Amino acid sequence: MRTIIGKEYIWEMSHRLTFHKGPCKNIHGHSYKMRIEIEGETNENMMVLDYYDIDKIIAPIINKLDHAFICSNDDDLMINFLDTNGFKYLVIDGFTTAENLVTYITNIIKPQFEAHKNIDVLKIRVYETLDAYAERKIELR
């Protein structure tokens, strides 16, 4: 039976947008929320995928991001400051926009969901604020 299931995750994280002409060029934080939806055929247990198994895939990523500073790989000023002072941070390729963050997460988790042959659509939505998000939907088959 074809079904869509979903799960949400929430974490706190800070960043800055070095290119920004407004206040987002400054260090600031957000309460991020991610909604993941997977679509496919139910298995012999009448599940698309056990929520526990989704958590095993997503929890390590959330643990890296929660209460961290996410930093563009070219932001040497912040990388040096964070490293020198022992702060938790994660460096990603490109700017720390919601669009790039949803791509970063998708690239990490896609192979793990592809391993489940009954799943053929993965949709990830990352909210940077209550009303602003970026989303990626990919076909796995």
For 43-61, write each residue's pLDDT tens digit: 999 999 999 999 999 999 9
Q: How far apart are CA 37 and CA 115, in angstroms?
A: 16
- Rounded Cα distance, 110 and 69, in Å: 24
Q: What is the mean pLDDT of residues 10-36?
A: 96
Residue range 99-128, pLDDT digits in tens: 999 999 999 999 999 999 999 999 999 999
Using an 8 Å Cβ cutoff, are 13 and 70 in contact?
yes
Q: Rounded mean pLDDT of 117-140?
A: 97
Q: In the prediction, which pLDDT does 141 show?
A: 81
Q: Return the pLDDT at 132.
A: 97
- Tell me the pLDDT tens digit for each residue of 61-111: 999 999 999 999 999 999 999 999 999 999 999 999 999 999 999 999 999
For position 127, what pLDDT does the model report?
Answer: 98
Give exposure, 64-97, as e/b (b: 16+ Cβ within 10 Å): ebeebbbbbeebeebbeebeeeeeebbbbeebbb
Cα→Cα distances 124→14, 28, 46, 58, 137, Å: 20, 23, 23, 11, 6
d(C-alpha 46, C-alpha 61), whole Å? 27
Q: Which residue has the tokens 């000023």?
A: 77
Q: Class of 2-50+60-139 per CATH?
A: alpha beta
